[in-house]
Structure 1
Amino acid sequence: MIAATRPFRQFVIKVHSRCDLACDHCYVYQHADKSWLRRPVTMSEETFRRTAERIAEHASAYHITRVHVVLHGGEPLLAGRERLRRFARTLRSALHGVAELDLRMQTNGLRLDEEFCAMLVEESIVASISLDGDERSNDRHRIRRNGSGSHRDAVRAVRLLGAPAHRSAFGGLLCTIDVENDPVDVYRALAALRPPAVDFLLPHATWEYPPRRPGGDTDYADWLIAVHKQWTADGMPMRIRLFESISRLTRGRGSLTEALGLGSSDLLVVETDGAIEQADWLKTAYPGAPATGMHIDTHRLEEAAAHRGIQARRAGLDGLSSQCRSCPVVSVCGGGLYGHRHRAANGFDNPSVYCSDLLKIIEYVQAAERDETDVRHGWHGLTWAHFDELAAGHGSAAAVRSLAAAQNSQRRALLAAARRADVGTGSEAGWDAVLALPTAALDVLLSEPYLRVWALACGQSLRGADGHPAEAALSAVARTGGRLTLPVPLRYGTEGPEVHLPGLGRLLVGPDSRDHRAGTVTVTASDGTVIVEGRALGRERSPRGTVWQPVRQLSADGLEVALDDVDPSRDCYQYRPLSRLPEAHFRRWEEMFAEAWQLIRTAYPDYARGIAAGLVTVTPLAPDASGDDVSATSRHAFGAVGIALPRTAEDLAMLIIHEYQHVKLGAMLDMFDLLDGLDDRRYRVPWRPDPRPLDALVQGAYAHLAVADVWRIRRRRGAADIGVDLHERSRVEADKWGTAVLDVLDTVAETGSLTALGHRFVRGLRGEAETLGGVAETGPVAV
């Protein structure tokens, strides 16, 4: 699709235009734009219905499978509980059969009570609450109209929403930074409330109205660095999206916030009167800055996509100032939030007013993740804290990111080896393009889980790997910016000739393709668009017979992974991967994955953090004729798991946790020698009928300790939550697998083949297994 018709996937609906607080840093009421004065106080039900219809119409036109909507204000709770319930149902009704709805709300929380929280759970509305830290810090700005503070009522709301009955509706906390507040006090006050995530927000500012800097040019970076140090020292107990986004962007993955990265904006705002607007933080720039002149009654959302302001925010690297384009961290920073670049003299053609802060915090986080190492393997390593976290079966986001960094280096080395081996195959132009990729594009390529499988195949002349270098280079350029044109030799699969762009999708080339007889097609990648024979890739069959099958995404509560059913290298499991899923089957995956991730996030948070940091791809596998669950991992595909869709979301959650244990341990075994390699005997284990080598005993014990833990936690959740039959079974299963793990660890220790690191690892694993065993014997625990 051309840039002008790229779809919107995120929608902010202003359901109420007034607020019951008078925060002095609010961009809606305290900055340049005063359009709220002319708008209705509450969005009418007719305007909301029309908005829902427009969103569904847009999703249908672009075949969007998941839509993200935020109910916003002002203060959305002022719209009333039952009106918000009706709004949620109106949205779901409009999107029924079109797309899944991820419905969220941002609120100050002051009007939350038991009934309101119950409604949020019933209607699957995930709410984030604004809170700026401890009482002194929060009440510096978040005050009522009479000047009194809001902290106590906000904390009451957070605790209410975070209670077990309502926690599924708790999205996290939003904290606006004030550098005069103590950063560690603020962090600790927020962490004490056990939020699933925290967003630290830079206060909105422009070059005309710069942020306060009582201490110097990098006040905000210094404040965030103090938070990062305490957060990492605490083992990263919750997600902080700013820090995670820096890590993800550094590794070539997408940002979790619009304030960072070069990703194309896909957000649209609908005001209480039905006006269609750009992101509303533009209100801080000048009066009318977000306006498009369009209205929900008279304009389709596709028309808004062509608006010059929205196009300007979709220009990527080319839309940045010359100073930004030459910056070494531009692929991570992305110029910062668009509104923070404004200057009256030249509009938005400037670096962010927070430029110095962004540079410093990005470089700090990158250096901290690179340098904080105690146990090393080559250029990479783990802190002892991270090593011990992983040995206990868990592992924070930072620990998993360290594993990912080491895997990327292995993939880089394998690319070089494959290039040397793949000589005389006609792939030289593709390899030259791969080797010439800029850092950001190469990082994107290295993050693909099946790259190592393919690179090994290239070195061994397997899997028909010829031509893949050109495909890989084109895919990387398409996702990170730039332009590249290459001839691509066709693959010949079960559905005929094809081209595979890793991470993007597969192009089936029909018999009437112009270059088909020559065995090649010419592909151009240009800033997010892929063009074959002069036509941009789309979902529909073209006149020349090509069909584009994109890699579809599973999105659930902040986690987005690829459901890859097209990569030729995905056949690396002992089970058969399924071919392209029909849309109905994909939607079943989408629905069950969302439910499973919600379970993992809320019931099994010790596993959720590592999975969120490192799970990139799920490949659907063929089910077993026996009806037994099927799942697998490959040592050469870090970040990917293969799973046959099971019967329930509970089963899928278990399979994801189980298999991701293998992913983590496989990466650790690539980094460290836990065994001396001298024992070639085979041993019996309770979970397999065939005798297993010693390294497989360690793998099995590691994964089945998580299985025992899941059963233990299920039992604690109670019969009312999981059902009587599953609850009764949980004690038996927890005891069975916990005992089996301890027995196998005894066997491993008795072989005499553990290295010093191996002894430390097994001690950690045994300690966790013994702890779980003790809990299992005491009976259910009330939560």
Structure 2
Amino acid sequence: MGTSSEAAEESENSPHALRPHRLDDVSFGMLCSTGERLRATHALLDAEYSRRLLLLRVLVDEVTARPAAVGDLAPAREAWDLLARAQRQRPEAVHRLLMDPQTGLWAAHVLRRLRGSQDADAPLWSDVGQLHALAAAGAVLAGVDFRIQVPSRDGAVLLPCLGRAQSVAREPWGVAEVGAQNGTARVRPQGDGPVVTVPKDATQDGPGWTGMRRLSVSHHELTLTLTIDDLARYPVIAGTSGPDRLDATALRHWRRVLDRAWALLVEDHRESAEALAAGLFSLVPLPPAERFRPRSASASEAFGCVMLSAPHAQVTDDEAAVELAVTLVHEFRHTLLNGLMHLTPLADDCPDLFHAPWRDDPRPLSGVLHGAFAFSGVARFWRDRCARDSGSARERARFEFALWRRESRATLETLHAHPALTETGRRLVRALLADIRSWDAEPVPETTLLLAERAATHQRAAWRAHHLVPDEAAVRSVADSWLRGTPPPLAVTEETGGDVVTDPAGCRLDAYAHLVRLRITDPHAFAEAREGGPRPKDVISADLAYVAGDSDAAAALYAEETSRPAAWGGLGLLFGQPPELLRAVSQEITRTSGQTPPPSELARWLVHTWDDDGAHRGSGSMSQSARCSQSTA
């Protein structure tokens, strides 16, 4: 982000010397890896702290130039000066406050509002006034005597890193006074509401006070401490609602699974654990997700924060620990790359959309790069588990390693040659590729490699059926040939081109991989699903038959389910045809003739081969390219 020269100068009232920051070559080299390293993490943390200070100074300067932006609150400089007093008294506490992920989200949100690029329901002064709440929180943490007015929302005052004071007042946007004297802090609402005393241990609840709780887990002298941020005002993902407050039972569940996951990371993935202990600050809890499909997210402005779904209550402790551990590694790698991208661009603007094998939706170049960085680390995690686990856990680890090694490598090889990458982006991709290629000789059973290959191609085929729209002229030509009773046109032997048009209904396209995990981990549940029992969401009988190895049954069943685009993906995969072409041609024939062609018959016709002397040799297989053309939608 560009800053004014004033913002880059050190002020005697500044909490810190404001300065730009760069990564040294050693730290950058460590970051360009499938592993997580403590030195690289510390370097990014230093850079992020400098960036936060610059953001705050720019914000204060812009608000000072627009006095009306604070409403009836004190001028922004007074809040800044209070924060500076707190920093001089207890610098480590203010450092933690400024590095809190909510501080980053808030600062970015307010700057966008000040510059007119984002709207919000809250009055501008209420969002700007969180600077005053930040200063108040810093003063409380530092033990400074003070008094300052801060914004309230629905009668609640949120003090970052401390907690929330709730009065009986319920006005949507109000003002309260926060003050401290002799080590006791109080929140005094506007009007006649009761005064709320902040407990000495602010993480604890008290009358009118909801504490910002923390979970701390230790193993072999390495500790991870996470704020359980279920009071967040600024969402990690824009447009989503805030988390619900965890009850005591849910909090105990989180503590138990986090303790086991941390022990696993410390014992078996020590370097990663050291980096996570330094760079993870908060966890925004999400409700439990489907088995094998944990929900997680992170954001560029929330360095050190991870949104995570609670581990499924019905899985074993061992499975829950591994799932949580790999998800923490996955999201932490997103955090690391976000930190790097704050320092230097990795790619220029690119209009293209791409297939990303870990996502259901088409992704921009930067999103694919993010995923490749994260999942190369996921592949490394499962590689390590292959050597440490046994039984079905080892079989699962081998499958995950084979799948994500394959998918990360394929995606990185596509990115490697992309002209939009900057030199730094190319260095990153080259280094990741070198790591992954060094694993080529890692022994994985042939049956596992085959499962990984089928899982990858099945997801890709389902993605294409949902999101890729083939060239209209090619579709009409093929449909006309069918209606005339002639062989498919020669043009079908090549890729038919087309646009990516995002289909919001394209969800849970990882059905094959999901079922492989179920068959490995819980064969009884897989057998029950085949026999008509409970099955994972959006899994159909054809998917179960295909994973079970019955390709003939799978083809017949996919043909019965072609109201679902993903079924065309399975059908196209089994017949070696582009699924988007099959689907589009079927729709064109139906539109033109009023008769829907039998899907299997249409697929067999498309693989029709003339005799050896003829020019036509069939329709060719699906492309495995990860890149697709830009959508015009």
Query: Do the two structures share a fold, i.e. TM-score over 0.5?
Result: yes
Does residue 531 of structure 1 match 2:198?
Answer: no
In structure 2, which of residues 33, 57, 72 is the aligned counterpart of residue 426 of structure 1?
Answer: 72
The whole-number CA distance in structure 1 between the counterparts of 2:76 and 2:147 is 10
Residue pair 2:214, 2:225 contacting (<8 A) in 1 also = no
Within 5 Å, which residues of 2 pair with 1:571-586? 571-572=236-237, 576-586=241-251
* Cross-structure match for 1:481: 143
* Cross-structure match for 2:380: 709
In structure 2, which of residues 154, 177, 192 is the aligned counterpart of residue 522 of structure 1?
Answer: 177
Cα deviation digits, residues 460-480 of structure 1 (max 9, x gap):
343631431221111111112
Runs of 4+ more than 6 Å apart = none
Cα deviation digits, residues 505-528 of structure 1 (max 9, x gap):
11122249xxx8993322114576
Per-residue deviation, 1:740 = 0.7
Per-residue deviation, 1:710 = 1.7
Does residue 655 of structure 1 match 2:347?
Answer: no
The whole-number CA distance in structure 2 between the counterparts of 1:430 and 1:757 is 38
Per-residue deviation, 1:661 = 0.4
Does residue 718 of structure 1 match 2:389?
Answer: yes
* Cross-structure match for 2:540: none
TM-score, reference length from structure 2? 0.57
Distance change (3 Å), C-alpha of 1:578 and 1:639: same
Residue pair 1:575, 1:632 contacting (<8 A) in 2 also = no
Does residue 690 of structure 1 match 2:342?
Answer: no
Does residue 445 of structure 1 match 2:100?
Answer: no
Point out the more displaced range, 621-630 or 730-739. 621-630
The whole-number CA distance in structure 1 between the counterparts of 2:102 and 2:253 is 24
The whole-number CA distance in structure 1 between the counterparts of 2:131 and 2:181 is 17
In structure 1, which of residues 620, 640, 645 is the aligned counterpart of residue 285 of structure 2?
Answer: 620
Alignment: residue pair count: 393
* Cross-structure match for 1:281: none
Cα deviation digits, residues 269-311 of structure 1 (max 9, x gap):
xxxxxxxxxxxxxxxxxxxxxxxxxxxxxxxxxxxxxxxxxxx
Does residue 766 of structure 1 match 2:433?
Answer: yes
Residue pair 1:674, 1:757 contacting (<8 A) in 2 also = yes
The whole-number CA distance in structure 2 between the counterparts of 1:742 and 1:419 is 45
* Cross-structure match for 1:597: 262
Residue pair 1:480, 1:528 contacting (<8 A) in 2 also = no
Distance change (3 Å), C-alpha of 1:605 and 1:444: closer
Residue pair 1:734, 1:776 contacting (<8 A) in 2 also = no
* Cross-structure match for 2:110: 458
Distance change (3 Å), C-alpha of 1:433 and 1:631: same
Give % identity.
26
* Cross-structure match for 1:491: 153
Q: Secondary structure at the match of 2:100?
A: coil
Q: Secondary structure at the match of 1:489?
A: strand
Per-residue deviation, 1:706 = 1.4
Per-residue deviation, 1:430 = 5.6
Higher strand fraction: Structure 1 or Structure 2? 1
Does residue 403 of structure 1 match 2:44?
Answer: yes
Distance change (3 Å), C-alpha of 1:467 and 1:768: same
* Cross-structure match for 1:267: none
Q: Secondary structure at the match of 2:360?
A: strand
Residue segments in structure 1 that go unaligned for 5+ positions in a row: 1-327, 332-365, 371-376
Cα deviation digits, residues 737-772 of structure 1 (max 9, x gap):
101111111111121223222222112111111223
Cα deviation digits, residues 25-76 of structure 1 (max 9, x gap):
xxxxxxxxxxxxxxxxxxxxxxxxxxxxxxxxxxxxxxxxxxxxxxxxxxxx
The one-letter amino acid paired with 1:434 is: W
The whole-number CA distance in structure 2 between the counterparts of 1:443 and 1:739 is 41
Higher helix fraction: Structure 1 or Structure 2? 2
The whole-number CA distance in structure 2 between the counterparts of 1:765 and 1:593 is 29
* Cross-structure match for 2:273: 608
The whole-number CA distance in structure 2 between the counterparts of 1:509 and 1:548 is 11
The one-letter amino acid paired with 1:706 is: G
Does residue 385 of structure 1 match 2:5?
Answer: no
The one-letter amino acid paired with 1:707 is: V
* Cross-structure match for 1:668: 340
Cα deviation digits, residues 640-680 of structure 1 (max 9, x gap):
111011231211111101000000011111112222x1432
Per-residue deviation, 1:576 = 4.7
Distance change (3 Å), C-alpha of 1:650 and 1:431: farther
Per-residue deviation, 1:777 = 4.2
* Cross-structure match for 1:96: none
The whole-number CA distance in structure 2 between the counterparts of 1:414 and 1:460 is 11
The one-letter amino acid paired with 1:687 is: W
Residue pair 1:566, 1:580 contacting (<8 A) in 2 also = yes
The one-letter amino acid paired with 1:537 is: V
The whole-number CA distance in structure 2 between the counterparts of 1:527 and 1:734 is 57
The one-letter amino acid paired with 2:108 is: L
Residue segments in structure 2 that go unaligned for 5+ positions in a row: 1-11, 114-119, 189-194, 313-319, 449-633
In structure 2, which of residues 199, 214, 220 is the aligned counterpart of residue 552 of structure 1?
Answer: 214
Residue pair 1:427, 1:469 contacting (<8 A) in 2 also = no
* Cross-structure match for 1:502: 160
Over aligned residues, Cα RMSD in angstroms?
A: 3.1
* Cross-structure match for 2:9: none
Per-residue deviation, 1:498 = 0.4
Distance change (3 Å), C-alpha of 1:697 and 1:574: farther
* Cross-structure match for 2:486: none
The whole-number CA distance in structure 2 between the counterparts of 1:744 and 1:526 is 58
Distance change (3 Å), C-alpha of 1:690 and 1:532: closer
The one-letter amino acid paired with 1:536 is: T
* Cross-structure match for 2:295: 630
Residue pair 1:574, 1:632 contacting (<8 A) in 2 also = no
